[in-house]
Amino acid sequence: MYDCNIDNIRKIKQLPVLNGVSQKIIRIISDDQIELGDVVDIISKSPAITARILRCANSAYFGQRAQISSVREAIIRVLGLKLTCSLSLAMALTGSFNTRQCSTFNPEQYWTTSITAAITAQELSSYIKHSDKLEPATAYTAGLLHTIGIMALTHIFPTEMATIFANNVESIQQQTQEKLGIDQHQTSTILANSWNLPESIVASMNYSNIDSSSDENSTLAAIVCLSSQIANSFYLHKNCDMQQLKFDKQTINAKHVDKVIAEITTQLEGLQEIAQLIIGVQD
């Protein structure tokens, strides 16, 4: 392990500030009183994000028959406010980190697993056993951004991360700890704090250090952890074996997990399409 753990953390904290669109989207994600007009105004200022949002709304995944031609229409008829904000933030973040210097980073894999984790978390949130139900949109956002630290580490340490990705993508956490002294979950937490994301989302970033309980933040973390396992299994193995999943059955019933897995299985092609739209493959 490097003897520069503190230096590496400092480098993460000194990342350039997010661009204006990203900052504005983060502010409205954190606002419980979010209004349609504000979202439309922010997104419309970015032609690239506007184009991708419209492509998402018109994609086969959402099954919208009539053509969607404006951001306002996409929000009202297809995506909703929270989902639009989450997707827009993901699209904006792709321009905030330079991952092209890392030869083995696969942006399509990254965003496909992130989108799959987001949808999975959203679906699982309706099945939790505790009395305090999670807001599906919050679960979606937490799932979408839970490993944003990978992009930050790839931006800062492209050479080291290239070696890590080439070795084994299933052991990123262990390898980043050994090589950099910090892993993707800790990095995600640092970023989420610096971006002033809602407390529940910040807590869910570092889910490996949170014990199961009925606390809302811990419940969200448990859902994100499970969603991440499912998303990675689908991408790496094209299926998901319930027996290989680790989750707290006091938080969610196994039969509900199995039901969500079955639902996600039918959506994989569409989720990959959305990932491509996020990174601009089809621009």
Domains of the chain: 1-15+101-283 (1.10.3210.10), 17-95 (no CATH)
Predicted confidence at residue 265, as pLDDT, reads: 93
Give the chain's mean pLDDT: 84
Residues 246, 189, 124, 249, CA torsion sign: positive
| pLDDT of 111 over the 90 cut | yes
Long-range contacts of 48-51 (CB under 8 A, 24+ apart): 48/91, 48/280, 48/283, 49/21, 49/88, 49/91, 49/92, 51/283
**Which tokens hold the place of 190?**
């640092």
Predicted confidence at residue 15, as pLDDT, reads: 73
Rg (CA), the chain: 18
User: Which amino acid is located at 2 in the chain?
Assistant: Y
Q: What is the mean pLDDT of residues 143-171?
A: 89
Q: How big is the CA angle at 17 (ends 11 and 22), to the nearest 5 degrees?
A: 130
CA distances from 68 to 14, 59, 64, 79 (A): 40, 10, 8, 11
**Which tokens hold the place of 240?**
């998901």
| pLDDT of 163 over the 70 cut | yes
Predicted confidence at residue 51, as pLDDT, reads: 92
For residues 20 and 255, the model is more confident at: 255
**Closest-CA residue to 191 (of 139, 232, 155):** 155
Which residues make beta-bridge pairs with 128? 252
**Closest-CA residue to 41 (of 80, 78, 70, 82):** 70
**Closest-CA residue to 92 (of 165, 27, 35):** 27
- Report the distance separating Cα 230 and Cα 246, nearest Å: 10
For residues 250 and 154, the model is more confident at: 154
User: Lowest-confidence range among 17-26, 70-79, 168-177?
Assistant: 17-26
User: Which amino acid is located at 87 in the chain?
Assistant: L
Length of the chain: 283
Which residues make beta-bridge pairs with 252? 128
Q: Where are the alpha helices (DSSP H) in the chain?
A: 5-13, 20-29, 36-44, 47-57, 71-74, 81-93, 107-124, 136-145, 148-156, 158-167, 172-180, 184-194, 199-205, 216-237, 254-265, 268-279
pLDDT band at 283 (very low <50, low <70, confident <90, very high): very low
| pLDDT of 211 over the 60 cut | no
Q: Which 8-state DSSP code applies to residue 192?
A: H
